[in-house]
Amino acid sequence: MNKIKLTVLLVTFNAGLFSFTTLAADSTVLPSWNDSESRQNIIAFVDKVTDQSGPDYVPPAERIAVFDNDGTLWSEKPVYFQLLFAIDRVKALASGHPEWKTKQPFKAVLEDDMDALANSGEKGLLELVMTSHAGNTTDEFSRIVTDWLASARHPTTGKRYTGMVYQPMLELLDYLRSKGFKTYIVSGGGIEFMRPWVEAVYGVPPEQVIGSSIRTTFELRDGEPVLTRLPEINFIDDKAGKPVGINQHIGRRPIAAFGNSDGDLQMLQWTAAGEGRRLMAIVRHTDEKREWAYDRDSHVGKLDKALDHATANGWTVIDMKKDWRAIYPQVAQ
């Protein structure tokens, strides 16, 4: 072997070692993500706000990251999974309500007539949710949700609903927490519908869940204190309600926010308007094979204005098809 050959070999070897090291370090972080711009933006942001000697440093107590749930952490098609829960719940209660056979929106539910259900409008859907979610105690409702999730299956994938959470987002939640972030869910969905399962599935404890709610009232039932769930709206945690809900629950402004639809726009704007470095990101549903593809014209998860804002303001857009190596966890939860 001559000197030149040896030098070439050593250089190649070193270069190989170097790139191996780089790859190994990277691949432990967000492994289900391709090394896309969105992944790089996330990692660069986290590096900056956790660098104690840098100008963008944020102390751990202020590292608040908020995540929408439907369409951001788990799927939302054909409709929000909570509506499928409400439908199943009405069916389960139907034997005690013979009048539902002729009364909308219940008739539509019992006849599996989704067009008629859609035609019952917001008022009909609200009645459906109230009937299926109220009239029990907080403890009872928690058990009902837990039981439903243990047995129900998605109509087209056949998976459990908790198996339709996004693997790359699970990794993102873990990654942020490993860097001292407190991760919150901020969802238009029901706060009490999420709390029974999100700790096991997302690692988010119940006290870090913000959502829509119905009113509860404290009462003594046979001397036992209970919180009874009333058929009245308490708070709608959607659109302009999201910053309100965040302020009410957290009292700090997030430094990172993840959403997927126009319902998340104000939460992203509220996050963006704070001082210092921020991360605003939108999950785009672009994968018609592995998940669903929809945006501006979708009834559920419509992404229109928020996409324009993202483009105009340089927010991060996560393209499911291009950026994610996997969609759902390999072992269904």
Distance CA 120, CA 128 (A): 10
Rg (CA), the chain: 23
- Contact between 225 and a copy of itself (CB under 8 A)? yes
Instruction: By CB under 8 A, tell whether 247 contacts a copy of itself.
Output: yes
Sign of CA dihedral 107, 90, 197, 224: positive
Specify whether the CB–CB gap between 45 and 279 falls below 8 A.
Answer: yes
Burial classification of residue 252, based on how many CB atoms lie within 10 Å of its CB (0-12 exposed, 13-18 middle, 19 or more buried):
middle
134 interacts with a copy of itself by CB under 8 A: no
166 with 20: CB under 8 angstroms?
no
Between 166 and 258, CB nearer to a copy of itself: 258
Q: Looking at 104, 216, 261, 316, which residue binds a copy of itself (CB under 8 A)?
A: 216
CA pair distance 106, 176, nearest whole angstrom = 43
Listed ranges 71-79, 104-112, 119-127, 264-272: which one lies at the site for a copy of itself (CB under 8 A): 264-272
218 binds a copy of itself (CB under 8 A): yes
Q: Does 207 bind a copy of itself (CB under 8 A)?
A: yes
Residues numbered 267-286 forming contacts with a copy of itself, rule: CB under 8 A: 269-270, 272-273
Query: Is 244 among the residues that bind a copy of itself (CB under 8 A)?
Result: yes
Q: For residue 142, what are its two tokens? A: 């928690």
Which of 114, 240, 288, 290 binds a copy of itself (CB under 8 A)? It is 240
State yes or no: residue 195 binds a copy of itself (CB under 8 A): yes
Rounded to whole angstroms, the Cα distance separating 64 from 61 reads 8
Give the largest Cα separation in the chain, rounded. 94
From 68-76, 80-88, 111-119, 247-255, give the range in contact with a copy of itself by CB under 8 A: 247-255
Kindly state the smallest distance separating residue 221's Cβ from a copy of itself, in Å: 11
Question: Is residue 209 part of the contact set for a copy of itself (CB under 8 A)?
Answer: yes
Site for a copy of itself in 36-95 (CB under 8 A): 61
Applying CB under 8 A, does 138 fall inside the site for a copy of itself? yes
Closest CA to 256 of 68, 31, 27: 68
206 binds a copy of itself (CB under 8 A): yes
Strand partners, 258: 67, 281
Residue of 192, 150, 187, 185 whose CA lies nearest to 169: 185
71 Cβ contact partners less than 8 Å away, ≥ 6 residues apart: 260, 261, 283, 285, 300, 301
State the number of CA atoms in the 13 A half-sphere of 291 facing the CB: 29
- Single out the segment in contact with a copy of itself by CB under 8 A; choices: 20-28, 48-56, 121-129, 234-242: 234-242
Near a copy of itself by CB under 8 A, which window of 120-128, 161-169, 236-244, 288-296? 236-244
Which residues here bind a copy of itself, judged by CB under 8 A? 61, 138, 182, 191-192, 195, 199, 205-207, 209, 213, 216-220, 224-225, 227, 234, 240-241, 243-244, 247-252, 266, 269-270, 272-273
